Amino acid sequence: CWDLVDAVKFLGKDNEGRLIIIEVVQDHETYRIINLYCPNGEGERIKFLKQLWKWCSGVKNCFLVGDFNICLTKMDRAQQERHKKDASRTELINLMEQNSLVDIWRILHPNKCQFSRRQVVLGELKQVFLALLHPRVWAGTVEAKRPLETSN
């Protein structure tokens, strides 16, 4: 697998183990991959998401992947659960809009309810693991995926 990548560069991380940023070069294109684990609390999550702006702004091939600890849409939680107002959701949506990032899961499955986490104690079902990327990169991943789909 590593022979597909020309170079990998470590850019940074935080002290709490919630964030790691690398850049990968493949075929003369640089891709920034930001893996994250957002805090559970709304206020802490807002602060955390605000710090991502410096890593995303102006980067044309940016991937944000990980546990965002927030549901983007009502489709991302079980129907019986309330979709609570959350200012960190607004912060994430602003980050996505300003950096032209899309939720790849929601594009692939616009009407599907499936959940990445089940909290047994609270009995909640939620989609909190997200893969956000620029549509230009998305177009490349669709092209890369097609041969795999036809070979099955």
Going by the annotation, the residues of the binding site for Mg(2+) are 67, 69
What would the DSSP string read from start to end of 17-79? SSEEEEEEEETTEEEEEEEEE--SSHHHHHHHHHHHHHHHTT-SSEEEEEE-SS-SSGGGB-T
**Residues within the annotated binding site?**
67, 69
Number of other residues whose CB lies within 10 A of the CB of residue 26: 13
